[in-house]
Structure 1
Amino acid sequence: MTETEFLQHSDALFAHIEDALEAYDFDCVPAGNVLTIEADNGVQIIVNRHTPNQELWIAAKSGGYHFAEKDGVWFSTREQREFFDVLNEALSAASGETVAISPY
């Protein structure tokens, strides 16, 4: 994927996350390459895009995760877990309720 395609895809992914989180108690603040998600209790989850490596990153209390695209799906580079599985787990832990954002 070209850098332009990566940026377009990650912009759309961030918008998808923001739209989906309207159904939950989270504040989303996009700022350039970073989407900061904050639960009512102040716990933050950071979703970041790293353009040089064409990776998506999640930083949460449970740890930091890097994701690379393979056949249209974003998998963590260490555990091979899908991006939305990790994100939903982090959001659920932060909010104390089940959060289920469908893959983009």
Structure 2
Amino acid sequence: MTDLEYLDRADQLLMAVEQCCDRINDDTDADIDAQRVGGMVTLVFANRSQIVINQQKPLHEIWLAARAGGFHYRFDAEKQVWLDTKGAGEFFANLSQYASEQSALALQFKALD
């Protein structure tokens, strides 16, 4: 993957996270504050816990930090998804799990259509 391809895919991922937060806030009692600064999105939940998602341009990875730990994701061109580099799953499924745990609500994040 070229640097430009990475940046395009990583930006799509961050936009999807932001749009999911907007949808979740409209459809549920969740109060997620999504703050984006450049290549980083910080999700702040009502209980003040946070999830931080950021681009790691030199490695062509997305990093996610949550109460559950820190995770690295790399884009799988064949499957068209971001996968954990240690085999622990797909980015949006994992984000949904970690956000649900931290907010105590069933939250669903997904890639843009």
TM range (shorter): over 0.9
Greater relative CO (CA pairs within 8 A, separation 6+): 2
- Name stretches of at least 5 consecutive residues in structure 1 with no aligned partner: none
1:79 counterpart residue number: 87
On the 8 A contact 2:99/2:107 being kept in 1, the answer is yes
Q: CA RMSD in A?
A: 1.2
Whole-angstrom distance in 1 between the partners of 2:85 and 2:15: 23
Whole-angstrom distance in 2 between the partners of 1:68 and 1:16: 16
Q: TM-score, normalised by structure 2?
A: 0.86
Deviations, residues 69-102 of structure 1 (Å, cap 9, x unaligned) = 1122111011340011111111101111001112
1:39 counterpart residue number: 45
2:18 counterpart residue number: 18
Give, in angstroms, the shift of residue 31 of structure 1. Answer: 0.8
Q: Tell me the SS of whatever aligns to 2:87.
A: coil
1:30 counterpart residue number: 36
Q: TM-score, normalised by structure 1?
A: 0.92
1:5 counterpart residue number: 5
Whole-angstrom distance in 1 between the partners of 2:88 and 2:98: 16
1:94 counterpart residue number: 102
Aligned residues: 104
Q: Which runs of 4+ in 1 moved over 3 A?
A: none
